[in-house]
Structure 1
Amino acid sequence: MVSVDGFIADEEDDVGPLHDWYFGGDTPITSDEDQGFDHSGSGSRFRVSRASAEYVGAMWRSIGVIVMGRTLFDLVNGWEGSPPAGDHVVVVSHRPKPDGWHPDASYHFVDDVVAAVAKAQELAGERTIAVNAGDVGGQVLAAGLVDEVAMDVVPVVFGSGKRYFGGIDGQHLLEDPHVVVRGEGVLHVKFAVRR
């Protein structure tokens, strides 16, 4: 999720209204048998507009591995070892997995983004690798390891905070959007990365 002015959270990692669209609709993203819970601890089911459910549901089903940074891992406690999509998570961190933390969860800790993407490719097979936004996402894009950028743009202006691509330097060109889906309270957009 990203604000119209390109932020994923404020300076204190508060996402404000960026996730509201996940809980304001009438269509569940996942079936009752699947995990469909907000792992922030509220216990709410993801319920979005029909257009968002079709888009997000298809994307989540395609994901094999999520690559995330340590800040997000700590904020959500690694979704308690059960990611919202995919079977594996690769965490970019100079610190190891916390002692005793969900020992059976397929979470792998590596110390740089190139190694993280290599590990994700090994685990994903034919499935998609999703890289979370923020500093790690920006580093992966800058390293030339991103094929497509998917953004869920929420109609809010933060003015300042944590940027979608972190502290990325330089220009990185994207193609015209090849997917544009209008949900309720969110616009889903996908861009191929120009090579």
Structure 2
Amino acid sequence: MGSVIMHSAMSVDGFIADEKDGVGPLHDWYENGDTPIDGASGFSVSRVSAEYISAMWASIGALVIGRRLFDLMNGWDGHPPVGEHVVVVSHRPKPEGWHPEASYHFVDGVTAAIEKAQELAGDRVISLNAGEVAGEVLAAGLVDEVAMDLVPVVFGSGRRYFGKVDGQHLLEDPHVVIQGEGVLHLGFKVRR
């Protein structure tokens, strides 16, 4: 089974979006360099960020997101932003007639979402978008690693990286510390 990695860009005070779901400058670093991440995304970042992100994206087999992000992004019009499959945690089914060819799977509950993602991804990585759903997956003990793209901005309030996670969860010392331009990439294994 592939690792489950919670990942997102985050403000230094722990937010992945503001109160209105705006990301403000959190993704500016995707366009501040001269090294393309890949041919399809159109993103150009610093060389060190490109090396890190390219390797990460290439390892992903499935992406797990919540319904809120799916609705905000209209599911990227049926094209997974990373990996080949998207698993959406939702109490509502896939919208009627929405891209029937897309490898998007709607499941009720975080445990079922991780199980479905593991089935689809095989030995590849499962990327878990940070936020409420990810906090539930962490609380369920199903996250192997936390990866953050820390951006030098303070939001003050908004959507928290870990959502409303209950209890304390210990992480190992960082095994990834990469300084890009306008971003600091961090990776922590979850203590077991």
Please classify the TM superposition score into its range, dividing by the shorter chain length: over 0.9
Counterpart in the other structure of 1:166: 163
Cα drift, residue 23 of structure 1 = 1.1
Q: 2:15 aligns with which of 4, 7, 23?
A: 7
Aligned equivalent of 1:138, options 135, 139, 142? 135
Q: Tell me if 1:122 matches 2:130.
A: no
Q: Secondary structure at the match of 1:141?
A: helix
Distance apart, 1:119 and its partner CA: 0.3
Deviations 1:93-118 (A, max 9, x none): 00111111111000000010000000
Tell me, in whole angstroms, the C-alpha distance in 1 between the residues paired with 2:76 and 2:178: 27
Moved over 2 A (4+): none
* Of 102, 105, 109, the match for 2:106: 109
**Take 1:74 and 1:52, find their aligned partners in 2: how far apart are those partners?**
28
Cα deviation code 1:52-77 (max 9, x no counterpart): 10000000000000000000001111
1:24 aligns with 2:32: yes
Instruction: Tell me if 1:150 matches 2:158.
Output: no
For 1:16, the aligned partner's letter is G
* Superposed displacement of residue 83, structure 1: 1.5
2-structure distance, mates of 1:179, 1:106: 31
- 1:18 Cα shift? 0.2
Q: Would you say how many aligned residue pairs link Structure 1 and Structure 2?
A: 184
Give the partner amino acid of 2:34: D
* Unmatched runs of 5 consecutive residues or more in structure 1: 37-44
Q: Distance in 1 between matches of 2:45 and 2:164?
A: 31
Pairing partner for 1:183 from 171, 180, 185: 180
Q: TM-score, normalised by structure 1?
A: 0.93
SS of the residue aligned with 1:17?
helix
TM-score under structure 2 length normalisation? 0.94
Paired residue type of 1:171: Q
Cross-structure match for 1:42: none
Identity within the alignment, %? 74
Larger RCO (CA under 8 A, 6+ residues apart)? 2
Which amino acid is the alignment partner of residue 109 of structure 1?
F
Code of the aligned partner of 1:154: V
What letter corresponds to residue 17 of structure 1 in structure 2? P
